[in-house]
Amino acid sequence: MSRLRFGVIGCGVIGGLHARVLTSYPPLAERARLVAVASPSSQRARRLAAETGSEATDVSALLERSDIDVISVCTPSGLHAELGLRALAAGKHVVVEKPIDVTARAADRLIAGARQAGRALAVISQRRFDPASRMLRSALDAGELGTLTSALVEVPLWRGQSYYDSGDWRGSRALDGGGALLNQGVHAVDLVQWLMGPVVEVAAHTALKGHRGIEVEDVVTASLRHANGALTSLLATTAAYPGRTTRLTVHGDRGSAVIGNDELVYFHAAGPQDDTSAYGAYGAGNQAAERRPAAPAEQRDASGLLPSPHGEQLLDFCDAVAAGRAPGVDGEEGRRALLTVLAVYEAARTGTVTRVPSTTAPDMSPAPSAPMTTEPA
């Protein structure tokens, strides 16, 4: 099977992770090859190219190259659709980092552009590819936790003022789109919907408490109601010094599970003969060690992320292109997570319970794009 040839736009933290995964994740060795990286900063591009054994170039030149099949867009969020559409117009397949973009209209244009070009589009949601998440999804599909009743999402991170001061796009509505939820917490929103089902309505509050000079929130709390009636309580913040691990807890009437920092830390499912009519076991009987997927030890990237989930999602993308199927997390899935986040913001703005749109993206003609002038994330 021939290898897909990748180009990465954006040579910051996430672009660097994509480039390193493409060049060092063993299962990708026979499926993908990094050809070149691009950035408005030639210094950043040269540095990443030297590290990964690829070529450094500029964005326009990268898009025009005939020896590249896939463009991986790792720029500020508000540029994802713009650059994705330019890549599609050049005949490339497209991978965009989360979120798909910062507005529903931009997401719709990108999805329509991929549909019209006949090219694959994937949105990075790598936590679906964590071994712990996959194990929990299998358990839920098998009904091991019974009827799903509730979930708890915690994203208590710290980003210092210097983080927001490091780029004029950070914390801006135009390019960041949102704060702690859209930038950092969207992964958790996607994951809880993948496990618990679509969110249909939300109530929420947002605040800016630990930072200055930005247009978006650094704290958000929300109550989410899923289509199946289950409820999720969500907290996302970048003002929780010194930062704690992200946790997702899922409850059902026959079991519960906790994923902390991408690992299964608690799991208990009642057996067929277990009596669940009394008071329960109050957290006893942790079966996580028995259910925890076996995985080799990994060193986290500079961003704090494990390389293998990104690697597994890119491997799924290669399989999708080869098979002519949709990627595991396609544009519609990325749009679903974005619409839920936007509903949270609307609920916080209006103080009312807000419905999440459930329609699929319309078939829109992509708009012309302007050249990128802002440094990628």
Q: What is the tens place of the pLDDT at every residue in 4-62?
A: 999 999 999 999 999 999 999 999 999 999 999 999 999 999 999 999 999 999 999 99
CA distance 21 to 23: 5
**Nearest Cα residue to 32 out of 258, 319, 376:** 319
Whole-angstrom distance, CA of residue 263 vs CA of residue 243: 17
pLDDT higher for 373 or 353? 353
Percent of the chain with pLDDT over 70: 94
DSSP assignment of 275-299: --SS---TT-S--HHHHSPP----P
Which residue in 56, 44, 134 sits closest to 377, CA to CA?
44
Residue 79 DSSP symbol: G
Distance CA(187)–CA(194), nearest Å, equals 11
Q: Report the 10 Å Cβ neighbour count for 278.
A: 6
Burial class (CB in 10 A: 0-12, 13-18, 19+), 160: middle
pLDDT at 58 (0 to 100): 95
Of 359 and 321, the structure prediction assigns the larger pLDDT to: 321
Q: How confident is the model at residue 375 (pLDDT cuts 50, 70, 90)?
A: very low
- At 298, is the pLDDT very low, low, confident or very high (cuts 50, 70, 90)? confident
Please tell me the predicted confidence (pLDDT) of residue 1: 58
Cβ neighbours of 276 (radius 10 Å)? 13
Which residues lie across from 123 on neighbouring strands?
A: 96
For 34, residues 6+ apart whose C-beta sits below 8 A from its C-beta are: 6, 7, 8, 19, 22, 23, 52, 53, 54
Identity of residue 41: S
Mean pLDDT, residues 339-352 taken together: 98
CA 377 to chain centre: 14
157-204 per-position pLDDT tens digit: 999 999 999 888 999 999 999 999 999 999 999 999 999 999 999 999
What is the per-residue pLDDT across 211-265, written as a single tens digit (0 to 9) for each? Answer: 999 999 999 999 999 999 999 999 999 999 999 999 999 999 999 999 999 999 9
Amino acid at 370: A
Cis check: omega of the bond before 99, within 30 degrees of 0: yes
Per DSSP, what are the bridge partners of residue 209? none
Long-range contacts from 157-162, C-beta under 8 angstroms, 24+ separation: 157/184, 157/236, 157/237, 157/238, 157/240, 157/243, 157/244, 157/246, 158/238, 158/239, 158/240, 158/241, 158/242, 158/243, 159/184, 159/211, 159/218, 159/238, 161/211, 161/212
* Geometric angle at alpha carbon 306, from 246 and 49, rounded to 5°: 130
Token reading at 315 = 């491997």
Mean local confidence (pLDDT), 256-285: 89
**In 3D, which of 279, 286, 241 has the Cα closest to residue 260?**
286
> Would you state the pLDDT for residue 275?
84
Q: What is the three-class DSSP state of 141?
A: helix
Q: Which residue numbers are catalytic?
A: 98
Average pLDDT on 346-374 reads 72
Cα angle 208-209-214, degrees, rounded to a multiple of 5: 45
- 365 pLDDT band, cuts 50/70/90, is low
